[in-house]
Amino acid sequence: MKQPQHDRALHPPGAQERAEIERIEARRTFLKGAAAGTLVMAFGGAAFAVAADDDPRLGTNRPDGRPRLPPGQRLLSALRPMGGEPGDPSAAAWRCRIHGDCDRPTTIDFATLLRMPQTSLRADVHCVTGWTVFDAPWTGVRLSHLAELAGVRPGVRHVVFEAAHGYTANVPLREALRPNVMLAHRLNGAPLPRPHGPPVRSLVPDLYFWKSAKWLTGVRFVRADEPGYWETRGYHNHGDPWREERYG
């Protein structure tokens, strides 16, 4: 991602004084943010916020007893855009194949997805690069609902999320059918923004975020495991953040 270019224009008369005032105001804003425990930082041209070290959520545990913040992670207050070659963001053009080892394979469009039972939930997100966001609000359709509609056959053990430009990510079926796994089309109460894979992405919050494929084009149910794009390039085949399964 290109960094913002600096303004190379010559300063008009009096610009030095105005620049000094702006510097002072920027510093004042920075110190206010620091006092509140939140710093805004630039990263690849995108802004994101680092959560305070004394955030009370840092000391909490999940229902399964594991700490809410996995080892090796730092807490942010907003999702970072993580790149990837974009797909088509148009909801009108979106199609998703639900197929593989199932009795009723089908292809759905965006309007069909919206007619399905909708789930809104807050889920923590953990990126393999070392950041975590708590309580990100998502809306979408549970994968378990789509699996039931498709009639997944006995013997299926894995789900392969298919996305733009041939990207894939593999997830064990037992984990993909958890109630917090979905095809998500809204984030923070609004349609997915462009950096996050609109119009629909998968959401698998209990695994590292690369498993939550953006610009989703298909969900395929398979018997044998099929390592995906990053798994065949050195990333761990499973991706459990609490076991720090970052690399294979």
Phi-psi region of 143 (alpha: psi -120 to 50; beta: other; left: phi over 0): alpha
Domains contained in the chain, CATH given: 15-71 (no CATH), 95-243 (3.90.420.10)
Q: What dihedral angle (degrees, nearest 10) is formed by the CA atoms of 5, 6, 12, 13? A: 170
- pTM greater than 0.75 (yes/no): yes
Residue carrying structure tokens 């430009």: 165
Give 26's contacts (C-beta < 8 A, 6+ positions apart): none
Distance, in Å, from the CA atom of 210 to the CA atom of 228, rounded to the nearest integer, reads 10
Contact criterion met (CB below 8 Å) for 124 and 77: no
pLDDT digits (tens, 9 = 90+) for 34-93: 333 444 333 333 445 676 677 888 889 999 999 999 999 999 999 998 878 899 999 999
pLDDT digits (tens, 9 = 90+) for 81-95: 887 889 999 999 999
Rounded distance between C-alpha atoms, residue 88 and residue 24, angstroms: 43
State the Cα torsion 245-72-83-192 to the nearest 10°.
100
pLDDT, tens digit, 9 for 90 and up, residues 143-201: 999 999 999 999 999 999 999 999 999 999 999 999 999 999 999 999 999 999 999 99
Structure tokens at 57: 């959520």
Which residue's structure tokens are 């009370």? 56
Query: What are the b/e assignments for 164-199, b being 16+ CB within 10 Å?
Result: beebbbbbebebbbeebbbbbbbbeeebbeebbbbb
For residue 219, what are its two tokens? 């969900």
- Look at residue 59 and give its three-state secondary structure: helix
